[in-house]
Structure 1
Amino acid sequence: MPSPTEEFLADVLPRQIAAERAVHQGDAGPRTALWSHADPVSLFGAWLPVRTGWADVGDAFKRVAAQFSDSREYRFEVVAAGASGDLAYTIGFEHNTVSVNGRPTTYTLRVTHVYRREDGEWKIVHRHGDHPPDEPAPDVELGP
């Protein structure tokens, strides 16, 4: 019998990976669908100031997605995960080869996600992403 964490990952990871691949092709829709629209939600993005509340977070997703195109690789490397009751988390690395504002780049982010189960479905309620200290930041910047 699978553990609660294994069940959580089997449910969430395929949808989350598909949503991130879509964002890196310029489509924020699948990521928006994966997130809770019920506050509190928060985003500590690698290139963005802190965002809190669904209106601000959802708007940030649209602006960021508009700057991505030509995704050639997206991979989410899970380092740790856990699920208990209606809360869960993942910690890992996102490996990307994509164009940002038309400029091809490859980069890795270390990311933490927090999930809340709402009406039986896992939704992301927090994301923190930043550049690993031992890896140079990409030479492109996303706008606000």
Structure 2
Amino acid sequence: MDADLAQALQRTADALAAMGSGDPGPYAALWADTDDVTLFGAWGPIEKGHDAVTRTFQWVGSRFSDGALRPEQDVVRVSGDLACTVGSEHGVVRVDGGEPRPMTIRVTHVYQRVDGTWWLVHRHADFPPPDQRRS
């Protein structure tokens, strides 16, 4: 993995920690300022375009407090100016002022390198359903 992508992944990890404490600003700042960025959010929203996506992160961040999210990448792939991570985010957070609770989200991120800088361009996240093979 190149150093620039490693830095982008660290910025994402730092921004997710802030998101869990109720500060969505650092995560929203990682997104490319284009009309074709996309979000398939764990909380339901499906958005396209920088303004809609980052506005949704403001809403999501407003729901969290007193916590942090920590990403774990199971897969990191790079091809030219595109990179993809597949993994999960874990943490203990308060949601809507409730009691602290553990939270796990499955996440795929797509990054695009523009003028040497890696930007987020897509997030697909969900809450893992039970594995029906184990029921």
Q: Structure 1 length as normaliser, TM-score? A: 0.84
Q: Secondary structure at the match of 1:21?
A: helix
Partner Cα separation in structure 2 for residue 62 and residue 36 of structure 1: 16
Distance in 2, Cα, partners of 1:49 & 1:74: 19
The answer to whether 1:11 aligns with 2:7 is: yes
Counterpart amino acid of 1:111?
Answer: V
Q: Shift of residue 55 of structure 1?
A: 1.3
Q: Name the residue aligned to 2:97.
A: 102
Secondary structure at the aligned position of 2:29 is classed as helix
List gaps (5 residues or longer) in structure 2: none
Contact 1:8-1:83 within 8 A present in 2 as well: no
1:116 to 112, 115, 131: 112
Name the structure 1 match of 2:76: 81
Shift of 1:52: 0.8
How does 1:1-144 map onto structure 2 within 5 Å? Answer: 5-7=1-3, 9-71=5-67, 73-103=68-98, 104-134=100-130
**What are the ranges of 5 or more consecutive residues in structure 1 without an aligned counterpart?**
136-144
Question: Mean Cα displacement is larger for which, 8-17 or 39-48?
Answer: 8-17
Query: How many Å separate the matches in 1 of 2:27 and 2:39?
Result: 13
In 1, Cα distance between the equivalents of 2:70 and 2:85?
Answer: 14
Task: Answer whether contact 1:46 1:131 (CA < 8 A) is retained.
Answer: yes
**Structure 1 residues 97-135: Cα deviation after superposition (integer angstroms, max 9, x where no partner):** 000111122111110000001121100000000122237
Alignment length (residue pairs): 130
One-letter amino acid of the counterpart of residue 36, structure 1:
A
Mapped to 2, the partners of 1:7 and 1:81 lie a distance apart of: 13
> Are 2:86 and 2:108, in contact at CA under 8 Å, matched by a contact in 1?
yes
Q: Which moved more, 1:122-131 or 1:5-14?
A: 5-14
> Structure 1 stretches (4+) deviating beyond 4 angstroms?
none
Q: TM-score, normalised by structure 2?
A: 0.89
Q: Distance in 2 between matches of 1:115 and 1:38?
A: 13
Give 3-state SS (helix, strand or coil) of 1:34's partner.
coil
